[in-house]
Amino acid sequence: MNRSETPAPLERGAGPGGPAAALAEPTQRVTARWVTGLVLVNVGINAAFFGPINVFIGQQAISIDAPSKEAILSLVTACGAAVSLAANPLFGALSDRTTSRLGRRAPWVLAGAVLAAAALLAMSVSATVALMVLFWCLVQLGANAAYAAITAAVPDRVPVLQRGGVGGLAAMGQTLGILTGAVFGAVVSGNFMVGYWLCAAALLLSVLPYLFHRNDPVLHKGMLRPFRVKEFFLGFWISPRLHPDFAWAWLTRFLVNVGNQLTIVYLLFFLRDIIGHEDPATGVLVLTGIYAVMVMVTAVLAGPWSDRVGRRKPFVIGSSAIIAMAGLIMAFFPVWPGALAGAAVLGVGFGAYLAVDFALLTQVLPQALDRGKDMGVINVANSLPQVVAPALALLAVTRWGGYSTLFVMAAIIGLLGAVFVVKIKSVA
C-alpha cells in the first residue's frame, strides 16, 4: 500500500464529490489549467523570496552600512528563514484542518500572498536594520503560508504517476520566479524600493489563476480528529524510527539545499568583490538566466522521465553530484567564465533534483490527513538551509579562507545529500 494512502475509515465516500474527497488518494489526472495555476503561484512566491535575497536586501544593506553589508544580509535572511522554519509546517497543519467553502488550501494561498505583499511594501521604506528584519520576517510568514498550502495541493490532487511531470513544472515555476526577481533587480538599476514593489505586485497577481481554478475539495468537519493543543504540536515530530524513509528524504533535501544556498547566498558580493564585475546586479541576472534555462530544461525532462521508468533515486543521486560539481567550478575558477559555467552546471543538476525529489517526497508521506503538515515539515528542509547557509557563508568568507572555501564546502555538503538517498527503501 502506498504510504500516503488514508486509513480505511477515512476513505468511505472518497469518490468525486464524496465527503472524503479531500482525503482520498488522487487517481484522476489534473488538468493543464490547474497545473498552470500551480506553476504561477510558485513563480510569484519565488520572485518575492529571491528578488530580495539575491539583490534588494544586499543593496539596501549597502545603503544603510556598506562595510557591514555581509553581516546585515546574513542577519536579515537568517531571521526570516528562522520564521519560515515554524511558519511552513504550522500553516500546513492549519490548512489540514481548514473547512472553508474555498477548500483547505486556497484560503491560505490568498491570505499568505496578501500579508507577504504588504510586508514587501513596508520593507521598501525601511531605513534601519531592525525594520528590515521585522518586515522580512513578515514576508516569510505570509509567503510560507501560501507555499505550505500550494505544496500540499500536489499530493492532494495529483496521482503518483503524474507527480514527476507536475514536480518538473513546479520546479520550472520556482525557477521562473527566481529569474523574475533577478530581472527586477537589473531593471530597477539599484532602486531597491521599486524592486520590492514589483515583487509584491508579482506575488498578488500570480495567485489569481489558481484561486479561480483551484479544484480544492471542501473538508467536512466530521472528518477531523478533535483538536487538542498538545496533540497538535506533538504531531510536528515525525518519528524517524516509525517513518525512516521520510526522515532520510528530509535529510537529503536539507543537505542538497544547504549546498545550493551556499553557492548563491553571496553571489552579488562575489561578483562585486572577487570577480570585479562592473555591474553586479546585471551579472546576477545573467547567471540566474543561464541557471534558469538549464533548470527548466532538465526539470521538464527528468520529471516525466522518472514517471515513465518508475524510479526516483538514481535521478536524485546523479543530480546531487552535478550540483556539487558546480561548487567546485566556482571554487577553482573564480573568474567570469567560471561563474558562467558554474551557473549552467548548477542549473542542470538542480532542475532534475527539484522535479524528481519532489515526487519522491510525496511518496513517503505518512498519511493523507496530515499532508499539509507533513509537506510543511519537508519544507523546513528548504527553509533551514536559509538559516544555516548564511551563517556558514559568513564564517567561510571572513574567517575560513574566503570564497574558495565557501564553494568547496557547498560541494561537500551537496555530495552528502546524494549519499543518503540510498537509505530510502520504499521508493525505487
Task: Indicate the domain borders of the chain.
Answer: 26-215+229-423
Model confidence band, residue 3 (pLDDT cutoffs 50, 70, 90): very low
**According to the model, what pLDDT value does residue 15 have?**
38
> What are the phi and psi torsion angles at 267 (to 5°)?
-60, -45
Q: Which set of grid coordinates corresponds to residue 364? A: 513517503
Q: Which set of grid coordinates corresponds to residue 309? A: 521508468
| 267-303 residue pLDDT tens | 888 999 999 998 888 898 899 889 889 988 998 899 8
Model confidence band, residue 327 (pLDDT cutoffs 50, 70, 90): very high
Model confidence band, residue 90 (pLDDT cutoffs 50, 70, 90): very high
Region 293-315: what's the mean pLDDT?
Answer: 89
> What is the C-alpha to C-alpha distance for residues 151 and 174, in angstroms, rounded to an integer?
12
**According to the model, what pLDDT value does residue 4 have?**
40
Q: Is CATH 3.40.50.300 correct for 26-215+229-423?
A: no
Query: Helices H, strands E: what count in the chain?
Result: 17, 0
Q: Which set of grid coordinates corresponds to residue 322? A: 552535478
**According to the model, what pLDDT value does residue 391 have?**
86
On whether the CB atoms of residues 264 and 54 are closer than 8 A, the answer is yes
Q: In terms of pLDDT, which residue wins out, 142 or 213?
A: 142
Residue 12 has pLDDT above 50, yes or no: no
Report the alpha-carbon angle 374-378-381, nearest 5: 155
**According to the model, what pLDDT value does residue 42 have?**
96
Burial 263-281 (b: 16+ CB within 10 A, else e): bbbbbbbbbbbbbebeebb
**According to the model, what pLDDT value does residue 88 have?**
87
Model confidence band, residue 171 (pLDDT cutoffs 50, 70, 90): confident
Region 381-396: what's the mean pLDDT?
Answer: 85
Tell me, yes or no, if the pTM score tops 0.95: no
> What is the C-alpha to C-alpha distance for residues 354 and 253, in angstroms, rounded to an integer?
9
Mean pLDDT of the chain, nearest integer? 87
Per DSSP, the residues of 138-200 read HHHHHHHHHHHHHHHHHHHHS-GGGHHHHHHHHHHHHHHHHHHHHHHHHHTTT-HHHHHHHHH
